[in-house]
Amino acid sequence: MTIIKSILPALMLVMLASCQSRSDDKPYLGTWVQLTKQNGAYVIFQPCGLDNRLMRISEQSVYELLPSEENKSTLQDIKPEGEGYVLNGKSGSRYVFTWENKAKGIAVWKIAHAASDPVSEIVFVDSLHMHDFKTVKEKGCEGELSEEAGTINELLRPLVSDYTVAQTAKGDANNDGIEDQLVILNHKSEQDPELYESLIRNDTEGVNRPAILFLGQGGGKFQLTFRNDKLIPSKLFSQNERQVSYEQVSVNKGNIQFTTIEDPRGGGTILRKVKYSFSYNAAEKSWSLKQAEISYIPYKQKPDTHVFAADKLGGPKAIRDFNVYQFSPAKYVNNESNSFFMK
């Protein structure tokens, strides 16, 4: 026992050093979301009608989604500099990465899109840590979620100028004995294939399909509880060249569930069925991921089904903040025959 106690600290140091070296190899890679400091704390600030600023960094390029436009730079080289790294673009762009707080995934990026441009110093958080920060929406935005009770038509009217109602699921979402409704919207561009294709051409996530939950207040009145534009996948998303051919949502006794079936666009025969289940937490008055189920359905063969509890997928995730594009259980399935579906 004494010998074991004496070697444990050394083993832990070796393991820590090993993990550290892997994480330090290319820390600039991945997706980064801008942070804004409010009242002395960092938050993810969502401006009215504009996108959150983010960057996706690969070894070949930098893609930037700016509040009202996008930018892509092909990289010429990546070099260490001081305690960080410099990413030089072929067009003269320059991105300098330095950690501010590595444990929290916070980094400072100094960015110039051309040699003659002034340098902007912006704080970002990596996507693995972004859910640790509060999202704050700019106040007074058009279409901002109303806290007033009303009919569903009254509450939907300011939110659907670019959308049509795709489907509605009715049931008791929060176990209070009053019927609630979950409404799924389709973007109007889905009715125009040429326009829809143009909108997703440079977007790995496709066109958003908002899910909006209305809690019943009795007397035909409802209250808008949450809207999530990343809960239901778009009909078509370009990154993996697949399309959603079927979707179903249900609300029943404190549970919200949605299911999709995805077809490969390249003519493959293996479909993918994904089912997410969320359960109501009365103490927090929110719905959190309970489990995810993924099935591969080969043509005329028995489905290959895998079920993952929330703790196997990184812990419960609130439905309000759930992002289906960042949280696919497919990466946990070790099945080479289905590898073309992997993220």
Nearest to 308 by CA among 331, 279, 341: 331
The dihedral built from the CA positions of residue 318, 285, 260 and 230, taken in this order, carries a sign that is negative
The answer to whether residues 209 and 232 touch, using CB atoms and an 8 Å cutoff, is: yes
Cα distance between residue 225 and residue 281, in whole Å: 14
User: b or e along 66-101 (b: 16 or more beta carbons within 10 Å of the residue's beta carbon)?
Assistant: eeeeeeebebeebeeeeebbbbbbeeebbbbbbbee
Q: For position 71, what pLDDT does the model report?
A: 86
Nearest to 276, CA basis, from 259, 252, 253: 259
Quick one: pLDDT band at residue 313, thresholds 50, 70, 90?
confident
Is residue 48 within 8 Å of residue 58, measured between CB atoms? no
Whether the pLDDT of residue 80 is over 90: the answer is yes
Best mean pLDDT range from 158-167, 266-275, 289-298: 289-298
Kindly report which listed range (8-22, 84-98, 111-125, 274-288) carries the lowest average pLDDT score. Answer: 8-22
Encoded tokens for 68: 């009202």
CA distances from 38 to 42, 73, 85, 128, 145 (A): 6, 31, 28, 21, 22
Q: Are 156 and 212 in contact (CB under 8 A)?
A: yes
pLDDT range class, residue 49, cuts 50, 70, 90:
low
Spatial distance between the Cα atoms of 208 and 224, rounded to a whole number of angstroms: 19
DSSP state of 2: H
Locate 125 and state its tokens.
């958080």
Q: 222 to each of 69, 182, 238, 340, how far by Cα in Å?
A: 36, 11, 36, 43
User: Is the Cβ–Cβ distance between 119 and 111 less than 8 Å?
Assistant: yes
Mean residue pLDDT across the chain: 78
Start-to-end CA span in the chain (Å): 45
The confidence band for 330, taking pLDDT boundaries of 50, 70 and 90, is low
* CA 322 – CA 134 distance, rounded (Å): 14
pLDDT tens sequence across 15-34: 333 333 324 689 999 889 99
Angle, CA 58 vertex, CA 52 and CA 64 arms, to 5°: 25
pLDDT in tens, 206-243: 567 889 999 999 888 998 888 888 888 777 654 445 67
